[in-house]
Structure 1
Amino acid sequence: MEIRRGSALRNVCLLLVAVLHVLGSRGPLDLSHSRPVNALEGDDYVFLLWGYDREVQEITLEIQTPLASSVVLGLGPDTSLNRSDFVVGGWNEHNETYFYDAHTEGEWPPVKDKSQDYVLLDLSRNKTHTIMRVWRPWFTCDRHDQEIENDTVRVMVAIGDSENMELSDDRTFRKSIFFLEILADVLYPEITLFYDFKVTDFLVPDQDTTYACTFIPMPRVSKKHHVIRYDAIEDPDTVGIVHHILIYICGNNTDITSEIGDCYGSDARFSQCMSPTFGWAVGGEPFDYPVNSGVSIGMPEDPLYVRIEIHYSNFENKEGLKDSSGMRIYYTPELRLHDSATLMTGIFTFPMQFIPPGSKAFRNYGLCNTHLMAEVLGRPFEDLTVTTYLLHAHLTARGLRVMHYRNGTLIGTLGEDKRYDFSFQQVRNLVNSVTVKMGDQILVECTSSTMDREGVTFVSFVME
């Protein structure tokens, strides 16, 4: 199927704070980022918009809510109220506005901060909606304020009809947000086609964990094309149960089958094809390759088949669930300058990894020595240019870091999130591309917490 488009798709400390306020007065920031935030119950949602300036380290946040007399915007390190940063605005019974910077220490409602570090830019309402827009520096040197860094932030919005600010599920909204995301204007080529890799009505086993695999042919093209975008196909009946979807490219001598089987079971056919190319996990969004690169298909050395792996987490052991999830790729004959690929590195939990109970920050490490890549691939291998990263782990994970070493010296990171959220696994762009030279080392650190567990957590034969 063909899509023709020509338009863009896309949608010391006190002194430092004083300086940032002055710099922030240059003018309003462009609110180029936005996300809807759903209520815990009901169909209502708020709309969160934001923009930031990386050079002077400032951010503007705007929330648009259903009509309310009080609005609370909260930023926190996790889903609890403990150590959360809030800003409160609204109208009292005399229709006079109020606004202040606040925090919680595990109890509701928020209390006013001694240091007022948010600046109110707009507080208004009409017949249907309320709007609050605020500005602040990333770092305020107030321990009650959430620092804005390259980490996931849990956003909470609560609305009400009085200053009492009582919490109710249908008027409380939560979402994990990565504020410092980098967006690039993406132009579709004049000719853009799409193709689906998916299962059809697969009966999900009524067990906690299932890794289901099958083989699917690549789209047949008569000349080289570039894949420039991919997106998950999410079956509405299995949202929350499908944990991740991975597409592995296969060698052209692969023993394939159209059956669906256990990826890591006794059928050796499903242990083939271990080069991941496209991937999605819970909370992921569509991914566009950089404008100068794409994944090659259609050449003699390119794969004719892929292996699709879908991980189901059916913790409630529901019966009778049928799934038709998968991945959609977009490709074009209008070639780009470079070919892209995916490097998966991390902790290979074979034959077994374990995490002891009661651990606040238990760390596992996985090392990739790139000097082995040529040996593994059987041919010389050029240096890598890294532009994006996806951090993937499971429920005990609290932080992930990908460290880049050269000659035994740490020279930077290829991705990091100190506040990892399992339900928000998003491909993220690097500020600047990074060159990984053959011989460099890539070290993945996964920090887990098992404070809520009494037994040992065992993990076997999966990538973290």
Structure 2
Amino acid sequence: MVFLFSRIKGMLYLLFLPCFCSAPPPLRFSVFLDPSNMAYLRWDHDEQEMMSFELQVCTTGWVAFGFSPHGDLPGSDIVTGGVFPNGSIYFCDYHVVDEEDDSQDYQLLSVTENETSTTMLFKRHLWTCDPNDLDITVDTARLVTAFGPDDTVQFFKGQRFSKSLFLMRYRLPGGPSGDSSVSFLFQFAVPVEETKYACTFIPLPMVKQKHHIYKFEPVITPHNISLVHHILVYACGNASVLPTGVDDCYGANPDFALCSQVLVGWAVGGESYQFPDEAAISIGTPWDPQYIRLEIHYSNFDLLPGLINSSGVRLYYTPELRKYDVGVLQTGIFAFPVHFIPPGMSGMLVPDLHVFACLLHTHLPGRGVKAPQYRNGKQLGIICEDSKYNFRLQEIRDMKEILVIKPGDEILVECNFQTLDRSGITFGGPSTMNEMCLAFLFYYPHNNISSCMGYPDILYIGGMVNGKDNENEMFAVEAVMAIDFVDWDNETVKIAETAAKEAEQVVMIKTINELQRNETGLIRDISIPEQAACHNISGHLSVSGPRATANLRLTAAGTSGSSTAKETASLPLLSLTQLVFAWLILASEYGK
């Protein structure tokens, strides 16, 4: 018999729930929720759209866990539980605005306590029918955890933590035996600049037969984790003539920008990644790259002097070959001024691509990314998306199922941005204070295409937002400068968004050997798939038994400092291309 406490309409009752259950299956995924490793979460989900959680916290008092719209307690959907000194247990679903939630949608499996910690095992459906519950989706989840020293629940007086986490994971990595590894690192004196891209060229391991790189992980200099924004490894064509040393990737020497096919990548918040059992990156054959370009983006926001960094990436490889060779297709919006966000807003013949994972990337204003797929003008679905994107949690995410992209299919990358904290326009560019809108698709079998990116007709957009005749000739740099001087308000933001969507898109397809072909495209409408039916379990709980006399008190007052969610304006643009000339002219004009 399981004893469950639940407070309904201000009263605390003891629930008697018969338990006819065997031991639950082990939970596959786990993480510490706080820097001091006080709270440990294990979780898993099943085909019945049910997610199970096990929370272990170093306390013998109350514990709480749940979901937050923005990472703060106000507005959170949480559960609390614990064990009273007499051995009885309590558990309740709360909404941290109205105290207890009238709809109890979390199911308790057990609450246990020992001399040092409390463990709470419970589950809930991904989509409940309670408007106070936040859905569990493929978006980034903002988790909140809190606990106290005794059994008086006081959210705003206990210890609290917030963590962004991707919950909808689908597999645990395996691993071959007898593997080898190689680390690609370089020492670099980080300048006193807000943004710096440093590159060097390094040979891949010399192996006598074909091997597969099945795993990679970041190697970050201790105490410099906040300094390194991203690490990319590019495969170089074997006909490339490469420079030596370390230099600015996109500076005066254009040779340091050679090699554009992404091999592996890491960004803020990411961890190691292991490819699926059926595919990995090939090295050691005459067709494989012999050199890589290692690119590290440093963000020295505090302009600290004397920083020496020796970060990089470690690759694991093995002669135990997998069935397919992995490739990475880079898609998105070109990171130069043809991509802009106003202030104050909320092909080539290739075989079918079997996409198994993706990495989404924007900078600070990014609030959401999605990449739908189209065939013959009809949307098939969304390859990957995150409508609650968090800049500090950028990780490679596995697909639930392998998705097939056929020759002739179209991929659209749409980003939502919020620039309420900015007074000037935000242009696309390499700096963290500039913006990007990218989706990296990990697929097999490998082909020669490194990127498929595009940009809108900036002359058309410039003419529309400035109310000028679009047929008047204007250089691209003039159009960009004209956009920068627009008096932005709700009306001009809407005009710019419409113009960016209506404008003809130039799509650039590039190979590993830097061959390029341009085509034209358009931005199609995105249809939102219907959400699965919700599950209402609240009515399954029945109250019986005597009223409990224990003291369970919720203090949910004192919400000062809470923020009001603001509407984010959406600026959907397609892929990327190079207008470096316009960017350099614009930079030189502003530098005068």
Structure 1 contact 357–457 (Cα < 8 Å) conserved: yes
Selected match of 2:310 from 324, 344, 352: 324
Question: In structure 2, what is the equivalent of residue 267 of structure 1?
Answer: 253
Is the counterpart of residue 35 in structure 1 residue 35 in structure 2? no
The within-5 A match list for 1:101-116 is: 101-105=93-97, 111-116=99-104
Question: In structure 2, what is the equivalent of residue 441 of structure 1?
Answer: 410
Flag structure 2 segments of 5+ consecutive residues without an equivalent: 1-16, 438-592
Residue 187 of structure 1: how far off its partner (Å): 3.1
Is the counterpart of residue 65 in structure 1 residue 57 in structure 2? yes
Which whole-Å deviations, capped at 9, do the CAs of 1:253-303 have from their partners, x for residues lacking one? 323233211111111111210111100011112111121222111112221
Q: Per the alignment, in what secondary structure is the counterpart of residue 306 of structure 2? A: coil
Question: In structure 1, what is the equivalent of residue 467 of structure 2?
Answer: none
Residue 46 of structure 1: how far off its partner (Å): 0.9
How many Å separate the matches in 1 of 2:290 and 2:85?
68
How many Å separate the matches in 1 of 2:289 and 2:202?
11
Question: What letter is aligned with 2:41?
Answer: L
How many Å separate the matches in 2 of 1:229 and 1:146?
34
Q: Per the alignment, in what secondary structure is the counterpart of residue 117 of structure 1? A: coil
Residue 49 of structure 1: how far off its partner (Å): 0.6
Question: In structure 2, what is the equivalent of residue 456 of structure 1?
Answer: 425
The within-5 A match list for 1:246-395 is: 246-360=232-346, 371=347, 374=348, 380-395=349-364
Residue 306 of structure 1: how far off its partner (Å): 0.7
The within-5 A match list for 1:93-132 is: 97-105=89-97, 111-132=99-120
Selected match of 2:148 from 160, 169, 172: 160
Question: In structure 2, what is the equivalent of residue 9 of structure 1?
Answer: none
TM-score by length of 2: 0.67
Question: What letter is aligned with 1:165?
Answer: Q
Question: What letter is aligned with 1:47?
Answer: Y
Structure 1 contact 29–52 (Cα < 8 Å) conserved: no
Question: In structure 2, what is the equivalent of residue 222 of structure 1?
Answer: 208
Question: In structure 2, what is the equivalent of residue 4 of structure 1?
Answer: none
Larger Rg: 2
* Cα distance, 1:146–1:333 mapped onto 2, change above 3 Å: same
Q: Per the alignment, in what secondary structure is the counterpart of residue 270 of structure 1? A: helix
Structure 1 contact 72–87 (Cα < 8 Å) conserved: yes
Q: Per the alignment, in what secondary structure is the counterpart of residue 332 of structure 2? A: coil
Structure 2 contact 73–144 (Cα < 8 Å) conserved: no
Flag structure 1 segments of 5+ consecutive residues without an equivalent: 1-20, 361-370, 375-379
RMSD between aligned residues: 2.3
Is the counterpart of residue 401 in structure 1 residue 367 in structure 2? no
Structure 1 contact 264–271 (Cα < 8 Å) conserved: yes
Question: In structure 2, what is the equivalent of residue 48 of structure 1?
Answer: 41
Question: What letter is aligned with 1:48?
Answer: L
Residue 185 of structure 1: how far off its partner (Å): 4.9
How many Å separate the matches in 2 of 1:50 and 1:321?
39
How many Å separate the matches in 2 of 1:61 and 1:239?
29
Selected match of 2:400 from 393, 406, 431: 431
Question: In structure 2, what is the equivalent of residue 233 of structure 1?
Answer: 219
How many Å separate the matches in 2 of 1:270 and 1:144?
52
Post-superposition, which runs of at least 4 consecutive aligned residues in structure 1 deviate over 4 A?
24-27, 91-96
Structure 2 contact 363–436 (Cα < 8 Å) conserved: no
* Cα distance, 1:168–1:313 mapped onto 2, change above 3 Å: farther
Question: In structure 1, what is the equivalent of residue 450 of structure 2?
Answer: none
Q: Per the alignment, in what secondary structure is the counterpart of residue 382 of structure 1? A: coil
* Cα distance, 1:336–1:97 mapped onto 2, change above 3 Å: closer
Question: What letter is aligned with 1:175?
Answer: K
Is the counterpart of residue 192 in structure 1 residue 179 in structure 2? yes
Question: What letter is aligned with 1:70?
Answer: W
How many Å separate the matches in 2 of 1:325 and 1:452?
32
Q: Per the alignment, in what secondary structure is the counterpart of residue 342 of structure 1? A: strand
Q: Per the alignment, in what secondary structure is the counterpart of residue 237 of structure 1? A: coil
TM-score by length of 1: 0.84
Question: What letter is aligned with 2:117?
Answer: H
Compare 55-64 and 86-95 and name the one that shifted more: 86-95
Residue 454 of structure 1: how far off its partner (Å): 2.9
